[in-house]
Amino acid sequence: MVVVESYPIAVFMCVITMLCWGSWANTQKLASKEWSFQLFYWDYSIGVLLLSLVLAFTMGSFGSQGRGFIEDLLQADGGMLWTAFLGGVVFNFANILLVAAIAIAGMSVAFPVGIGIALALGVFVNYIARPEGNPVILFIGVALVVVAIVLVALAYKRLQTGSREGSAKGLIISIIAGISMGFFYRFVADSMATNFVNPEAGLLTPYTAVVVFSVGLVVSSIVFVTVIMYKPIAGDPVSPGDYFKKGNPKLHMIGMAGGAIWSLGMAFSIIAAGAAGPAIAYGLGQGATMVAALWGVFVWKEFKDAPEGTNKLIAAMFFFFIAGLGLIIAARVM
């Protein structure tokens, strides 16, 4: 299998993760006028699994290092398979709750609370489990990224009417989503070998772990998404049958493309964790919020009618974001 041992290459892969995690939601925007979020999410889940399988049978099966995907899957301990599977379930739970929080309380509440908690808790949990890098520099970097997330939330707050702001229900859901999102990566990392070149028996290589994670995501989507079809977060209920009746190849492909983009980011993050460490790999990936903000500013023009002073918030957000990412990267070499 392909193994990454160079830290600069690992950082580059983490940047790709950040771009993927911050960009996949554009596909949902493209499909939202014709396709409800629930139906989109089923296609998204399928796309996550399909891309993970493509990588497992290519990068995860070629080369002389480590174990090939099929060999690795057959020797895996049942407990490790369950751990990676549970990571997919926990992520899915958190991701859907975050969407619910945005619908109820708005971006200005959901993002600083949900993603802020996920970033800080996720880096802390992964660092405690595998302490790599300078902790002072790492956590200062994380703090700066959290500041950037708060600033982008304040910018979005200026666009809102205020009817959803301050919702206690949305705040609670954001907290639960953030805590869940902070732990999903740890489940996957715990299932993997610490040495990808000579992986320990019973543990998973990154490619196998991502496939099993994706299976957990797909299986849990059948349950979670079906529930929100009949009890929607916002809008009208949707019938599962609409997936087949109202869908067309274009809509299905858009959703699967979104899942594939996110899955590529997840795979690269997990592969890079061997050289960068899970805490740094996860922390860099969660900078995706700023990438999403870039799309909102420059492509979707979400801030074109924002009140005066908003541009200063956005500029400050990018400053803290770049400074924070720089420190997270530097933590491994200082």
> What does the domain layout of the chain look like in residue ranges?
7-330
Task: Using a pLDDT cut of 90, give the percent of the chain over it.
Answer: 72
Say what the pTM is.
Answer: 0.93
Cβ atoms of 157 and 302 closer than 8 Å? no
Token pair, residue 148, equals: 């950037």
In whole angstroms, give the CA distance from residue 92 to residue 90: 5
Token pair, residue 98, equals: 């975050």
Q: What pLDDT is recorded for position 253?
A: 96
Q: What pLDDT is recorded for position 63?
A: 84
- For 93-126, what is each residue's pLDDT tens digit? 999 998 888 777 776 678 788 888 999 999 999 9
Q: What pLDDT is recorded for position 316?
A: 95
Token pair, residue 139, equals: 């956590």
Q: What is the mean pLDDT of each run of 10 residues along the chain (334 residues)?
A: 95 96 90 87 96 98 92 97 98 91 75 88 96 96 94 84 59 91 96 95 97 98 94 84 92 96 97 96 91 87 86 93 95 89
Q: What pLDDT is recorded for position 164?
A: 47
Q: What's the DSSP call for residue 115?
A: I
* Measured CA distances, 212 to 71, 87, 88, 177, 236 (Å): 14, 9, 8, 22, 33
Q: What pLDDT is recorded for position 211?
A: 98
In whole angstroms, give the CA distance from residue 116 to residue 310: 21
